[in-house]
Amino acid sequence: MARSPQAVPEIPGTAGTPTAAAMPGAPAAPAIHGGTGQPAGHYLQFASDNTAGICPEALDAFVRANAGFAASYGNDDDTHTVCDRLREVFEADAEVFFVFNGTAANSVALANLCQSHQAVICSETAHVHTDECGAPEFFSGGSKLLTAPHRHGKLTAAGVQEVIQRRSDIHYPRPRVVTLTQSTEMGTLYQSGEIAGIARLAHGHGLKVHMDGARFANAAAALGGSPADITWRAGVDVLCLGGTKMGLPVGEAVIFFDRALGADFAYRCKQAGQLASKMRYLSGPWLAMLEGGTWLRHAAHANAMAQRLARHLAALPGAERLLPTEANGVFVNLPEPAIARLRAAGWAFYTFIGGGARFMCSWATTPEAVDHLAHDIGQALAAG
């Protein structure tokens, strides 16, 4: 078996065609070309970055993987090659595995680090806490999630320390893992020093550090430098590296920077139904994404589209920025009537995490689509 063999529900779009008349403070309506005017699912695209399709490089690789015959369960050439490529990217002799989705990646990885009487420290907004249906607890046999306060979605060393030292009696679960999300559920980024500070504290108390990297590509593209600098060099022990949101059809990578921690992970994958028999269909597209920095190029594009939208919104009266735009998400407070008008026009997006609206950009987001959304937000706000 190869040692290398993620998640919110989507909002259905509603039918509707926004008007094109310009309103004060709104960008001019972009030109829409072809047939009905928009590609399929046009109004869904800002709901999440996983509403986008498969990027061309990954799709080509997926098709190529279908040629001929190949060894199963991760023993094929593509899987071995991509595992080595990930080791090169992260500059580490790591154990690499592939699973089908982010909930499985996080939950099974945490279960590998944490026994049932132990606990995982996470942010109050962490995906493992709010959106994985108890899967971390299920796969670990009962490990408790202990939430800590956050600043714009990011844990702080002081908050983590308070949870670690909260209780030490036998009647309370013993903290064993700290989990960080990069980029966070609120679209913000941990700097390498912030990660290192939390990791140093965690390791000093015998805890391991897990990173939910569903949007790690966006963080890496935004921060620059080596991916190693914001993972194992900063003290991260295991990374769940998201593939779906960066443009893959399916599949996340779980990377144990300490090989000993991943010793039994292959068995957990099998038990959890996460061992793909035709692994080449997961690993082949990964290989294409890593070649020539394709993964970072697509992530940088998504980030740039978020910045474009943020600039538009900054000029609109009534649009209040809730959070800094550091990766590929834009969080903005809009009046309820404006939200209702946008949804009546067909746009799908989330309103959650402290209120406001979230708009996500992807590898497939175009400047024209951003301008179209911004135009309609401007119209919705101007209508009062």
**Model pLDDT for residues 87-106, shown as the tens digit of each residue:** 999 999 999 999 999 999 99
Q: What is the pLDDT of residue 28?
A: 41
**Coil, strand or helix at 243:** coil
If you ran DSSP here, which 8-state letter would residue 72 be given?
S
* Rounded distance between C-alpha atoms, residue 220 and residue 227, angstroms: 6
CA angle 307, 214, 226 (to 5 degrees): 75
CB 214 within 8 A of CB 176: no
Q: What is the pLDDT of residue 384?
A: 79
Q: What is the pLDDT of residue 24?
A: 33
Q: Which residue has the higher pLDDT, 25 or 350?
A: 350
Instruction: Tell me what percent of the residues of the chain surpass a pLDDT of 70.
Output: 90
Q: What is the pLDDT of residue 348?
A: 96
In the predicted structure, residue 16 carries a pLDDT above the cut 90: no
- At 125, the amino acid letter reads T
241-261 mean pLDDT: 97
pLDDT band for position 39 (50/70/90)?
confident
Per DSSP, the residues of 80-105 read: HHHHHHHHHHHTS--EEEEESSHHHH
In the predicted structure, residue 26 carries a pLDDT above the cut 60: no
In the predicted structure, residue 1 carries a pLDDT above the cut 70: no
pLDDT band for position 353 (50/70/90)?
low
pLDDT band for position 27 (50/70/90)?
very low
pLDDT band for position 211 (50/70/90)?
very high
- At 236, the amino acid letter reads V
CB 3 within 8 A of CB 97: yes
Q: What is the pLDDT of residue 134?
A: 92
In the predicted structure, residue 17 carries a pLDDT above the cut 80: no
Round the average pLDDT of the chain to a whole number and report it: 90
Q: Which residue has the higher pLDDT, 3 or 83?
A: 83
360-378 mean pLDDT: 97
Q: What is the pLDDT of residue 184?
A: 97
pLDDT band for position 25 (50/70/90)?
very low
In the predicted structure, residue 22 carries a pLDDT above the cut 80: no
Axis-axis angle for helices 336-344, 367-382 (nearest 10)? 130
In the predicted structure, residue 238 carries a pLDDT above the cut 80: yes
- At 147, the amino acid letter reads T
183-203 mean pLDDT: 97
The residues, any chain, with a CB within 8 Å of residue 265's CB and separated by 6 or more, are 95, 97, 108, 109, 112, 254, 256
Task: List the structure tokens of 254.
Answer: 């779980």
Q: Which residues is 277 bridged to in the sheet?
A: none
**Coil, strand or helix at 254:** strand
Q: Decide the pairing of beta strands 154-155 and 174-181.
A: unpaired
In the predicted structure, residue 32 carries a pLDDT above the cut 90: no
In the chain, what are the domains? Answer: 42-55+294-382 (3.90.1150.10), 57-292 (3.40.640.10)
Q: What is the pLDDT of residue 6?
A: 30
* Rounded distance between C-alpha atoms, residue 298 and residue 139, angstroms: 33
pTM of the entire structure?
0.89
* Rounded distance between C-alpha atoms, residue 110 and residue 145, angstroms: 11
